[in-house]
Amino acid sequence: MRGRQQDSPDPKGSDSRSLQNKVASLAALLTSGRSYFRERCLSDGVWVQRPEELLKMQTSFPPWLCPALLFSLCSIWIFISPLLALPGASEYLHRGWQRLLEEGESCADCLSEECPTPRGCLAGVVKDTCDCCFECANLEGQICDLDNTNHFYGKCGDNLECQLDMGDLGHGEVPEPQCICLSGTAICGSDGKTHSQICKFMEVVNAHPEANLTVIHEGPCESAPQILSPPYDIWNVTGQDVIFGCEVFAYPMAFIEWRKDGTDMLLPGDDPHISVQFRGGPQKYEVTGWLQIQEVRTTDEGTYHCFARNKFGETVATASLTVLTPDQLNMTGLSLPKPRHQLFEDDEESEYGDDYY
């Protein structure tokens, strides 16, 4: 999982600063108006009667306006004074995180009988921040608290541990703590299915409590092959290459064979333009086989079968190949499928190497 990008300038913080500047300007105007009011209207609690300004006051600033101006100034000041004390968005968030970090959330007396019952918790339950009520634990891959507290992101569930993900970080990214499963060993469940590890098995257990699933043993369940990704129908033009793929899960590992309708011979046989390749993966206890036909001919057209077998059984999947001549392609108005020059990249190795052949 990639870490998150470092914080960038907050546009909301910029808007907050703009609002504060406007409010501060208004406050300055009000302060000037209040001084003007004191000079023109009040002096030691009595009305000002200055002969040289008496005519001006009578025409532009009548005495009866002073009480109304006083009331307006006080009302506006009471409204904007709290706004002047508001911190910016980034400062507010910093204070909030700092308060949570230093003080924590206040916890009242624990009344467990009033706690709600958590539901749908695939990773199990953990105690909340106040160590009182149960709540859903974090799943594998979710962000968590490294100090095993429950203040910010939460605690990991059973068989999980909060670790820093230091791999696959891009430039400017910082690692994030996430829940990691403590075991990578496959599990055979009482449902007869192989689960990749204990954490995935427990997710199934918690999702279906009515099934009462249990662990039969560590390691995969012995089973007949299952074709996870069958070959698909293909069409192409003479002279082009085509590839069929077949991905199979089984334990013990399955053996894959390719056949074509109308022939008893296993492919590739002695035909030099047909080849077969296999490798383990892409997941544990899986094997993938490919059938490649180079420079297809019209005689290659037909139905091909992928057989997968082990000592517990056999399964099969089929796909058809349609071969057109260039003249037939022109009549259809179709475009050629994208070529695949190789079965898989040379530098891309199976996740599990040769251990699963």
Residue 83 pLDDT greater than 60, yes or no: no
- Alpha carbon distance 356, 251 (integer Å): 10
Burial of residue 244, with CB atoms counted within 10 A of its CB: 0-12 exposed, 13-18 middle, 19 or more buried: buried
What is the percentage of the chain residues whose pLDDT exceeds 90?
43
Q: With CA atoms as reference, report the closest residue to 47 among 55, 39, 35.
A: 39
Structure confidence by residue, pLDDT tens digits, 89-139: 344 334 444 445 544 557 888 888 889 999 999 999 999 888 889 999 999
What is the percentage of the chain residues whose pLDDT exceeds 70?
64
Burial of residue 165, with CB atoms counted within 10 A of its CB: 0-12 exposed, 13-18 middle, 19 or more buried: middle
Q: Residue 9: what pLDDT?
A: 45
- Alpha carbon distance 43, 66 (integer Å): 12
Within 10 angstroms of residue 302's Cβ, the number of other Cβ atoms is 13
Rounded to two decimals, the pTM is 0.53
CA atoms lying within 13 Å on the CB side of residue 325? 4
pLDDT top residue among 280 and 16: 280
Q: With CA atoms as reference, report the closest residue to 234 among 101, 148, 339.
A: 339
Q: With CA atoms as reference, report the closest residue to 190 among 207, 214, 212, 222.
A: 214
pLDDT top residue among 327 and 106: 327
SS3 154: coil
Residues 6+ away with beta carbon under 8 Å from 322: 233, 234, 235, 236, 301
Q: Are 281 and 351 in contact (CB under 8 A)?
A: yes
Structure confidence by residue, pLDDT tens digits, 175-227: 788 999 999 999 999 998 899 899 999 999 999 999 999 999 999 999 999 99
SS3 339: coil
Structure confidence by residue, pLDDT tens digits, 28-50: 555 555 454 444 544 444 444 44
Whose tokens are 């870490």? That residue is 3
- Alpha carbon distance 36, 48 (integer Å): 12
Q: Residue 5: what pLDDT?
A: 41
Tokens at 14, concatenated: 């910029």
Q: Residue 335: what pLDDT?
A: 75
Residue 66 pLDDT greater than 70, yes or no: no
Residue 231 pLDDT greater than 90, yes or no: yes
Which letter does DSSP use for residue 115 in this model?
P
- Alpha carbon distance 356, 350 (integer Å): 10
Burial of residue 34, with CB atoms counted within 10 A of its CB: 0-12 exposed, 13-18 middle, 19 or more buried: middle
Residues 6+ away with beta carbon under 8 Å from 158: 123, 124, 137, 202
- Alpha carbon distance 151, 112 (integer Å): 20
Mean pLDDT of the chain: 75
- Alpha carbon distance 106, 93 (integer Å): 19
- The model's confidence at residue 341, banded by pLDDT at 50, 70 and 90, is very low
The full length of the chain comes to 357
CA angle 181, 184, 190 (to 5 degrees): 100
Q: With CA atoms as reference, report the closest residue to 65 among 93, 40, 94, 97.
A: 40
Residue 352 pLDDT greater than 70, yes or no: no
Residue 85 pLDDT greater than 50, yes or no: no
CA atoms lying within 13 Å on the CB side of residue 202? 19
**What residue ranges define each of the domains in the chain, with the CATH number in brackets?**
187-221 (no CATH), 224-332 (2.60.40.10)
Which helix (H) or strand (E) covers residue 47, if one does?
strand 46-47
Q: Over the range 76-97, which residues count as b (16 or more CB within 10 Å of their CB) and which as e?
A: eeeeeeeeeeeebbbeeeeeee
- Alpha carbon distance 19, 27 (integer Å): 12
